[in-house]
Amino acid sequence: MARKLSIMDSGWLMMETRETPMHVGGLALFAIPEDAPADYMESIYRYLVEVNGICRPFNQKIQSHLPMRMDAAWVEDKTFDIDYHVRHSALPRPGRVRELLSLVSRLHAQRLDPSRPLWESYLIEGLEGNRFALYTKMHHSMVDGVAGMYLMQSRLANSAEDRLPVPWSGEWDAEKKPRKSSGAPAATTGMKGTVSNLRRGSGQLVDLLRQPKDGNVKTIYRAPKTQLNRRVTGARRFAAQSWSLPRIKAAAKQHGGTVNDIFLAMCGGGLRRYLLSQEALPDQPLVAQVPVSLRSADQAGEGGNAITTVQVSLGTHIAEPLNRLAAIQDSMKGVKSRLGDMQKSEIDVYTLLTNVPLSLGQVTGLSGRVSPMFNLVISNVPGPKNPLYLNGAEMLASYPVSLVLHGYALNITVLSYKDSLEFGVIGCRDTLPHIQRFLDYFEESLVELEG
């Protein structure tokens, strides 16, 4: 039975081109058990492909007859081929993280086959330190970042002794709710309870789209045009690194803020340093579009997209780090106040009104040629606090791999896991040189807040 896509989910299909593939992904690192046999990696591959049927959404493909897929619907793929979707790869020696990130950069640049279910997973062996990796990508029309994270983590085990079916196995009951995360509820910016407490009238919608008197509270189309806001090519560069969550919490406590405040300050400081190195820092502050999940904890495992977005000033025009942090906190406070005054129905309309011009800009080719709605997307996705296991192998880290668009050549996403914040930075390789330097710039920005 066909299931029609929502307007937001269809938008990701309409925007997709060779230069802008619309999938999101995740790169998970696992430890090979010390007593693993010589054929251990082959056994992991067999575990991934020798499955008893395929469950939703992994067995669903797009059916469409109208131009631009305006009638797109999900239907079951009756000729599903697991060997196409799950692939076994190996890194060249010496198998450093550098080689792994280079491989993921290339894999993430490749579009998914629109005639098949829109996902692929790569088992990658040969990683130094007795580790292996699993890189999985899924089309954004299938899942948003929160849904994808919950979908994968809910199908990993809580102990090395447990053996659960592979995430796409048909053994998963379609009606079964995923295991609740031991982490925070699904809210990407720490706005716990914001949506559930929305109260006031529709006039707030117009107010949210209008530029407020306080210039530190941002709306769309209030961002300077920068090097980040050019047209992109299909080439990608992915960089990733983990930061200690207790360390970031200590910095937050020191300055009376939240983990998300410090995360945004690391991004703001990193962007300031990067643009200074390119001699391209604008006088006005960069504006981040920050996705906010509208899912409750019980809805986190559902497919599709259930997000809205807000615009936050990153204070990149401010040289002094504490003043920059204060500007970010002030901007976020204003966003929370204005969004919190809206009802759920108004947020739905607001989300549609802010996404339509973004989609039209991509489809018409205007994005990257006119003033940007914002400068980049920055996401913070809460994850599990306890270790997870894949068929006995402990997951050591999990890095988000997002997407970029014409006019928005950089994306920064973090995922919390155990006691770490896992940073994933993806950008257009040709538009933004030396993306890996952001990792050093994030660290420098955190150090200056600890001083």
Pick the closest to residue 303 from 1, 94, 74 (CA basis): 74
C-alpha 290/C-alpha 406 separation (Å) is 18
Catalytic residue list:
140
Q: Which residues contact 22 (CB under 8 A, 6 or more apart)?
A: 12, 13, 15, 16, 139, 140, 141, 403
C-alpha 230/C-alpha 225 separation (Å) is 8
Pick the closest to residue 319 from 445, 447, 451 (CA basis): 445
Residue 121 Cα to chain centre, angstroms: 17
C-alpha 35/C-alpha 103 separation (Å) is 28
Per-position DSSP letters for 150-186, written without gaps between them: HHHHTTSBSSTT--PPPTTBTTS-TTPPPPPPSS--S
C-alpha 167/C-alpha 159 separation (Å) is 16
Give the orientation angle of helix 259-277 with respect to helix 245-254, to 10 degrees.
100
Q: Do residues 138 and 24 make contact, with C-beta atoms less than 8 angstroms apart?
A: yes
CA distance to 72, 150, 246, 363, 382, per residue, from 11 (Å): 10, 22, 39, 10, 25
C-alpha 196/C-alpha 347 separation (Å) is 12
Residue 36 Cα to chain centre, angstroms: 33
Q: Which residues contact 12 (CB under 8 A, 6 or more apart)?
A: 22, 139, 140, 141, 305
Q: Do residues 281 and 268 make contact, with C-beta atoms less than 8 angstroms apart?
A: no
- Residue 191 has which token pair? 């706005």
C-alpha 94/C-alpha 131 separation (Å) is 13
Omega cis (within 30) before 94: yes
* DSSP at 66: S
